[in-house]
């Protein structure tokens, strides 16, 4: 089952909002000296329980968005040309050659480009 980038972003944002709300409730409870254990619980546990997963989900969503942009840019570059070398891909996306090969193979596998990879010449060819 694949989860979309937008779902991860929504879940992460929702968790960050809940963590902020729990933090505010905890601070208000401690500040107004509410005599319950819930104030300390909200202040100590809930923000961490929501902030860390929320931040991670939002970060993963951001990374997936960047990856999709890179794959679309690679596809657009290959549409303009017949073939592109791994060194050109690496310089265009500011990565090493191993990362460029992974990006090219990912673009082929996920259907962004209709191309083949020639490992002997290290070229992505339409």
Percentage of residues in the chain having pLDDT higher than 90: 1
DSSP-derived 3-state class of residue 35:
coil
C-alpha 93/C-alpha 49 separation (Å) is 36
pTM, rounded to two decimals? 0.64
Most distant pair of Cα atoms in the chain: their distance: 72
CATH of 81-126 among 2.60.40.10, 1.10.10.10, 1.10.10.1150, 3.40.640.10: 1.10.10.10
Digit-coded pLDDT (tens) for 86-98: 888 888 888 888 8
Mean pLDDT of the chain: 83
Domain ranges of the chain: 1-67, 81-126
CA nearest to 77, candidates 103, 46, 99: 103
Residues in the chain with pLDDT values less than 50: none
Return d(Cα 38, Cα 25) in angstroms, integer.
9
pLDDT in tens, 41-64: 777 777 788 888 888 888 888 888
Burial of residue 21 (number of CB atoms within 10 Å: 0-12, 13-18, 19+):
middle
């Amino acid at each position: 089952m694949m989860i979309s980038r937008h779902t991860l972003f929504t879940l992460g944002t929702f968790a960050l909002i809940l963590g902020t709300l729990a933090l505010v409730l905890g601070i208000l409870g401690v500040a107004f000296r509410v005599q319950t254990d819930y104030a300390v619980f909200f202040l100590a546990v809930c923000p961490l329980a929501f902030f860390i997963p929320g931040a991670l989900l939002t970060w993963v969503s951001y990374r997936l968005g960047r990856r999709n942009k890179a794959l679309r840019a690679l596809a657009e570059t290959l549409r303009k040309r017949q073939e592109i070398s791994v060194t050109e891909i690496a310089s265009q996306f500011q990565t090493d050659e191993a990362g460029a090969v992974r990006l090219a193979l990912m673009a082929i596998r996920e259907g962004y480009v209709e191309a083949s990879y020639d490992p002997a010449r290290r070229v992505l060819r339409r």
